[in-house]
Amino acid sequence: MRLWGTPEGSALDPAFERLNASLLFDRRLYPYDIQGSIAWARALARAGLLTPEECQQIVAGLEAVKAELDAGAFAFQPTDEDIHTAIERRLRERIGAVAGKLHTGRSRNDQVATDLRLFLMEAWPRLEEGLRNLEAALVAQAEAHIDLLMPGYTHLQRAQPIRYAHWCLAHAWAFERDRARLRDAHPRLATLPLGSSALSGTPFPIDREALAQELGFSSVSPNSLDAVSDRDFVAEFLFIAAMIGAHLSRLAEDLILFASAEFGFVELDPAYTTGSSLMPQKRNPDALELARAKAGRLIGHLVGFLTVLKGLPSGYNKDLQEDKEPVFDAVDTLDALFAVLPGVVRTMRPRPERMRGALEEAMLATELADYLVRKGVPFREAHRAVSGLVQTALRGGKPLSALPLEVMRQHHPAFEADVYAVLDPEAAVERRTVRGGTARSAVEEQIRALRARWAEARSVTSPASHQRSTGAPE
């Protein structure tokens, strides 16, 4: 018998029954459903709706059902339309009619919203740790090669010299923003909907604050109608996942380019590349290409789910069954990427000779303009003068440093003999001492700042993850 049906009710069309069922994917929520049900049974007992003996019987029965599920020994039935139905059906088989008291004052509407939040609350610190590991790998590369210079790019054109460490940290800071988003979103995620019932709140004297504490939530939902339909936490997670995917994709794209023969800036460890089925000489950056591709998958989940949400009336609607699969897949995708990409970064080897060989004097043209500015020349005037100077060098096929001083002075009289000292990539980099710049001191400050954030940021762990089975709240 279904939770909502009667023995004499009309049968469902088999095709509709398959469409309506969610057990194929929501069975993954069973640990959280049992965790929430155990806490709910205790809340019912505190409210005088279960005797201590009934509560103990239900809790023991739920623990036994969980053991079956953990062991893969749980026999699902055709009438199990979702994991909530399956667990309650099996609990009734094990302990009898008292199992029917567990659903007192509770609806699957607030039950499933609680389960999904618990699932994400457990995933949150794992995702945060994955980001931290990737940042740490980038910082390790920066520290190991802090004096290595390379071209910096805009529009994929050589622009100005920077430190390789600066490039590494540019990606690290993007992932640090993602970690900050996880931390910022956690209080909104850790809001308990249980006790909202179907839409109007439970009519029984449930202590929702005690329930929240036991399950590891930091607050309770303020409005029951909103609570059962609120999937902002899903959309927010999918946005964070999509943003992480975009950042991973940009890192991957840089490294795919840098590892190519045309650039040759880095060499990838063979453990993270594959060979060609036809061309024996090739090694393909498949780990990075897959990371780049997964961004599309993560972005698709966000766009798809926002489209589900946009036209829903208030209260719970079955459309919200579509929340679980994108969440599960996004978590699995990020877990898989974080298992690989820190290793890709940690083991890659920069090639200093190729990076230095790509530093050309034309990249120092801005240094000449800045030189004139220091002589009191307005920047726009300096820019025009240096632009003409660059064209003169190109026409003559000479580097800027080979142009005689009299030629430079033809473009602007403020050029003096000390101008040639600025045409040095090391000096150009070291002039960028501003906070966030690419000078050695500025890069070292960035590394210290990242490490300080790691030390200061509290991990967004959920106490519920440590109390999964039966333990009382600490």
Closest C-alpha among 8, 30, 203 to residue 115? 30
Contact 66, 74 (CB under 8 A): no
* CA pair distance 237, 117, nearest whole angstrom: 11
Tell me the CA distances in angstroms from 454 to 54, 337, 374, one per residue in order. 47, 21, 39
* CA pair distance 291, 287, nearest whole angstrom: 6
Residue 59 corresponds to which amino acid? V
Is 247 annotated as catalytic? Answer: no
3-class SS of residue 229: helix
DSSP for residue 105: T
Phi-psi sector, 166: left (phi>0), alpha (psi -120 to 50), beta? alpha
Contact 300, 368 (CB under 8 A): no
How would DSSP label each residue in 380-431?
Answer: HHHHHHHHHHHHHHHHHT--GGGS-HHHHHHH-TT--GGGGGG--HHHHHHT
Q: How many CB atoms lie within 10 A of CB 380?
A: 9
The angle subtended at Cα 98 by Cα 94 and Cα 101, nearest 5°, is 125
* CA pair distance 322, 308, nearest whole angstrom: 8
Is 276 annotated as catalytic? Answer: yes
Marked catalytic residue, from 276, 314, 441, 459:
276
* CA pair distance 291, 302, nearest whole angstrom: 17
- Provide the H-helix boundaries in 96-231: 108-144, 164-189, 208-215, 224-229
Tell me the CA distances in angstroms from 261 to 120, 168, 255, 258, 354, one per residue in order. 42, 20, 12, 8, 10
How would DSSP label each residue in 12-53?
Answer: PPHHHHHHH--HHHHGGGHHHHHHHHHHHHHHHHHTTSS-HH
DSSP for residue 472: P
Q: Residue 24 burial (CB < 10 Å; 0-12/13-18/19+)?
A: exposed
Residues with active-site annotation: 155, 276
